Amino acid sequence: MQFKTRPTGARSSLTQYNPSISGSLNHSSATPWLAHAYTALGAVLALLATLEVIAGDYRRAFIWLTVQVLVDATDGLLARRLRVKERLPQFDGARLDDIVDYLCYVFVPVLLLLRANLLPAAWGVAIASAVLLSSAYGFSQTAAKRLTTDHFFTGFPSYWNVVAFYLYLLEWPPAANAAVLLVLALLVFVPLRYIYPSRTRTFATLTTVLGGAWALLMLWMLWRLPAKDSHWIAVSLVFPAYYMAASIRLDRRTRAVDHSITRSVDQ
């Protein structure tokens, strides 16, 4: 979603009779910092989640991570509304966002998997390290998030908070959990395009509807912890399955378009 700034003429007509309004709009340099502070709040939420992981209260840890997801889903809207790139060009909000995202989507979920004994005792740290390192590679790739007509991620996105939540719900053997993590860590290096759920134009309506229903179901299952219902867990997996299928479809279509462009340029 994009916000359009008010036309210059509209602003001048509003402020020409009230200099105080004009001054406040032009000189309120503190306002855009609120957007960055809101993004940085995710680091505090990561700390709170970490403390709950150490204390062994995994439900509360997931709750703090969920709150951070809400912050992450709305901080971009706030930043665009306050025009932070225009008003604070010297501050890299994207880098701040990546730092917070790595903490909340990678580090804390991996720590939870280790602390909850969901990974093999003998080589759990090695598996966790593979996730941390592959995600560090993914975050550092300039092509990891491509903003074109069809917004997408390249390589498996850092959805480790979701992966950790499912592994916690499913209660699989640690060896099976380790296999899942290794496969997903390897997929970070595979240049498959994955749908950017909130911004894609590929099956946009269906993705939004299914994604919204899935999010509500995940919140309900989180609220019910420590109770776990295998039936609802199975139902919730419909959206991840759809997401993968839609991403493969997007990848094939994008590759076909890229190939067509390359051929036309060569000719």
> Using one digit for the tens of pLDDT, what is the confidence trace for 157-182?
999 999 999 999 999 999 999 999 99
> Quick check: 17 pLDDT over 60?
no
> Quick check: 35 pLDDT over 70?
yes
Nearest to 48 by CA among 37, 62, 34, 69: 62
Whole-number pLDDT of residue 14: 39
Higher pLDDT pick, 264 / 44: 44
- pTM of the predicted protein model: 0.81
Q: Which CATH number is associated with domain 31-261?
A: 1.20.120
Whole-number pLDDT of residue 27: 44
257 sits in which H/E element: helix 238-266
217 sits in which H/E element: helix 204-224
CA–CA separation, 177 and 179 (whole Å): 5
Tokens 């480790």 appear where? 160
Taking all residues of the chain, what is their mean pLDDT, rounded to a whole number? 83
CA–CA separation, 241 and 194 (whole Å): 12
Of 29-38, 144-153, 188-197, 236-245, where does mean pLDDT reach its minimum?
144-153
Higher pLDDT pick, 18 / 25: 18
